[in-house]
Amino acid sequence: MPTSLEIQWAGLTMVYKGVSYVLPDGHTDYHYVYWLAATPTILVVSDAYPTLTDSDCLVFLNKLGIAITVPNSTVIDGDLIVPGSIVANAIAANAITTDALATGCITADQMAVGSITAVQSQPMQ
């Protein structure tokens, strides 16, 4: 029986290249649940973002006991963004504001040298 931080699944079938694979029912408290073509009759779980090939599929994301079915998602959860896939020039100017950043989440060692400069403000008249 799943705990409150676990997700569960039942009656899953994966179809790949015209072949159906019936998957066993299960539950997990791991963060990622995925299917690998190399082991098509089971789902694999991990807390680390999995390395997937074009033949593999992320199936569920466990958000504190809430199952997000990835193939049917219409909104991309931040945990589904492939690490290293977003580069700075892909982020629109002013898209990230201080309201979106947690206190202390950016430290000096994460800044590129010379990326922050000071501009002297003019006194109000």
With a cut of 80, say whether residue 121 has pLDDT above it.
no
Burial-class residue 75 by CB neighbours within 10 Å (0-12, 13-18, 19+): exposed
What pLDDT does residue 14 have? 95
With a cut of 90, say whether residue 59 has pLDDT above it.
yes
What pLDDT does residue 72 have? 78
What pLDDT does residue 106 have? 75
pLDDT band at 2 (very low <50, low <70, confident <90, very high): low
Select from 34, 38, 36 the least CA-distant residue to 46.
34
- Reported as a single tens digit per residue, the pLDDT across 64-120 is 999 989 887 766 777 777 677 666 666 777 777 777 777 777 777 777 777 777 676
Helix, strand or coil for residue 81? Answer: coil
Select from 4, 2, 27, 24 the least CA-distant residue to 12.
24
What pLDDT does residue 4 have? 86
What pLDDT does residue 87 have? 66
Top pLDDT among 7 and 122 is at 7
